[in-house]
Amino acid sequence: MRGNAPAWPSAPAATRALWSGVDAAAYPLATLVMLAGLVRALSGADYGILVLALAASGLSLAINPAIAATTTRFVSQAAGTGRSIAGVISAALLAVAAIDVVLLALTALFRATLARWVFGTATTAGGLALGDVLWLALLAVAIQQLDAVLAASIRGLERFARQALIETLARAALAAGVMWVAWSTHSVAAVLVVQSLVCALWLLVRALALRALLPDRRLFGRAGAAQIRALFEYGGWMWLTALAGVLYTTADRIILGRWMGPTVAGQYNIYVQLTQLVHFVPSSLFAFALPVFTRLASQGEGNAAQIGRSYRSYLRIISLLALLMAGALLLAWPLLLRVFAGGAIQDSQWMVAGLLTLNFLVLACNVAPYYLLLALGHSRSVSMVTAGGMGAALLLMLVLIPHFGLAGAALARLAYGAAALLLVLLARRALPR
């Protein structure tokens, strides 16, 4: 290994998958816990307003998956070849911070107009203007975006155990804080303020943990012009994918809220949060594949056979796991609704649950091809396929939701899953020979 590159952990794939799974599971588990508490602590209308505020603010998360995947890949590549890691981290943090500041300023200036567009006829949430609720939601999201860069850097160094422990503690603290303030105040604004404060605290904790892992204990550094150019060329395509992804994952809730009210949007949000586990769990377990594939590819053609064997093995395991999860989720659907939604949902809506589950099952089968293509530098191909599929789904949402409500929203999502199957073919062609 050249330069001051860190020593690579030698844990087997099963151990890496375990820690990757723990890392990624912390977020949805904390979200489900908060869901179970918030639907009971807040009124149906206030919970719907909170969902819409976070969904609208989540549009700014277009940079989050992009910058996270880009940071992970380039940190792994830089460490594998002995180049500056601090430079990659600094460039990523500056990009995210600049975008967040602009979005917060624009939201503050046009909060009343944005509130009318997002919330429709609703006017207040616990006495606070909805424009202020929207700004607070965006602030919470912005802090999490900065934190995501640091988390992606730790993953890029393949320190999966450390990242998983930090993420678990951070999400547990967030869930505890949000639940406590929700039950104490029954206030949407208070929930968002506590969420921002807890996320800011753990941003500092993760920064200190990452700095301790770097060879020279320097978190910030100057990146070379070529390194910055490569980072943004690769990340530019990832941002297109992520922008389409955020629109795809939030537009249906916003459209439902506009046509059928915040309460229906909140109910649909519960359906999506439960069924997305079919894709989220295998995707999380095998998130380690991105930095591993990147490191192997950066170290020369001698690793081609190992990349091919690992890819085919991951593809089979992920597909089987997703299929088993989909079946188990549908069998336990009424029970899951009672546990996580309380009395908020009276109708199980089997068709909606089935369509959403099928969509996430198909997406899960594309997890291994997605990570392989990104690791090998094919961000443009991934972006074209995924953005095209998401764009088709968005158009269908506009057409189907006004006519078919929840079922129309779930059906429209299938367009993306069908298009994403092209990644399997692209991955097969991209495998090093």
Mind giving me the DSSP string for 124-139? EETTEEHHHHHHHHHH
**Does any domain span residue 399?**
yes
Give the least confident one: 65-74, 130-139, 222-231: 222-231
**Does any domain span residue 241?**
yes
**Does any domain span residue 340?**
yes
Query: Which structural domain, as residue segments, surrounds residue 94?
Result: 13-430
* The pLDDT of residue 321: 92
- Look at residue 5 and tell me whether its pLDDT is greater than 60: no
* The pLDDT of residue 63: 61
Region of residue 323 (phi > 0: left; psi between -120 and 50: alpha; otherwise: beta): alpha
**Does any domain span residue 6?**
no
**Does any domain span residue 223?**
yes
Whose CA is closest to 371, among 305, 278, 296, 276?
296
Distance CA 347, CA 176 (A): 30
**Does any domain span residue 2?**
no
Give the least confident one: 79-88, 302-311, 388-397: 79-88
- Look at residue 132 and tell me whether its pLDDT is greater than 50: yes
Confidence of residue 235 (pLDDT cuts 50, 70, 90): low
| Token pair 């081609």: residue | 304
* The pLDDT of residue 254: 75
- Look at residue 265 and tell me whether its pLDDT is greater than 50: yes
Region of residue 349 (phi > 0: left; psi between -120 and 50: alpha; otherwise: beta): left
Residue scoring higher pLDDT (347 or 396): 396
Q: Which two tokens stand for residue 274?
A: 């439960």
* The pLDDT of residue 1: 38
Distance CA 92, CA 126 (A): 37
Q: Do residues 294 and 76 lie in contact, with contact meaning Cβ atoms separated by under 8 Å?
A: yes
DSSP code, position 8: P
CA-based diameter of the chain, in Å?
64
Whose CA is closest to 44, among 276, 404, 339, 342?
342
Q: Which residues pair with 125 in a beta bridge?
A: 128
- Look at residue 399 and tell me whether its pLDDT is greater than 60: yes
Residues 6+ apart with CB under 8 A from 243: 62, 66, 387
Confidence of residue 3 (pLDDT cuts 50, 70, 90): very low
Distance CA 402, CA 414 (A): 17
DSSP 317-376: HHHHHHHHHHHHHHHTHHHHHHHHHTTS-----HHHHHHHHHHHHHHHTTHHHHHHHHHT
Sign, CA dihedral 132-240-71-290, equals positive
Residue scoring higher pLDDT (417 or 115): 417
Q: What is the mean pLDDT of residues 282-305?
A: 78
Q: How far is CA 384 from the centre of its chain?
A: 19
Q: What is the mean pLDDT of residues 406-415?
A: 85
- Look at residue 322 and tell me whether its pLDDT is greater than 90: yes
Whose CA is closest to 423, among 381, 361, 376?
381
**Number of domains within the chain:** 1
Q: What is the mean pLDDT of residues 131-149?
A: 84
* The pLDDT of residue 126: 53
**Does any domain span residue 3?**
no
Average pLDDT, the chain: 78
Q: What is the mean pLDDT of residues 50-71?
A: 67
- How many residues does the structure list for the chain? 433
**Does any domain span residue 126?**
yes
Q: Which two tokens stand for residue 201?
A: 């605290």
Maximum mean pLDDT: which of 39-48, 116-125, 160-169: 160-169
Sign, CA dihedral 250-98-142-165, equals positive
Q: What is the mean pLDDT of residues 89-115?
A: 81
What does residue 187 show for φ and ψ, rounded to 5 degrees? Answer: -120, 125
3-state percent helix, strand, coil for the chain, nearest multiple of 5: 85, 0, 15
* The pLDDT of residue 2: 41
* The pLDDT of residue 324: 94
Angle formed by the axes of helices 85-109 and 130-156, nearest 10°: 170
Q: Do residues 279 and 322 lie in contact, with contact meaning Cβ atoms separated by under 8 Å?
A: yes
pTM tops 0.75: no
Confidence of residue 220 (pLDDT cuts 50, 70, 90): confident
* The pLDDT of residue 122: 56
Q: What is the mean pLDDT of residues 184-195?
A: 82
- Look at residue 247 and tell me whether its pLDDT is greater than 60: yes
Q: What is the mean pLDDT of residues 127-148?
A: 80
Residue scoring higher pLDDT (81 or 403): 403
Give the least confident one: 16-20, 231-235, 252-256: 231-235
Distance from the first to the final alpha carbon of the chain: 24
The residue type of 195 is Q
* The pLDDT of residue 397: 82
Give CA torsion, residues 38, 39, 43, 48, to 10 deg: 90
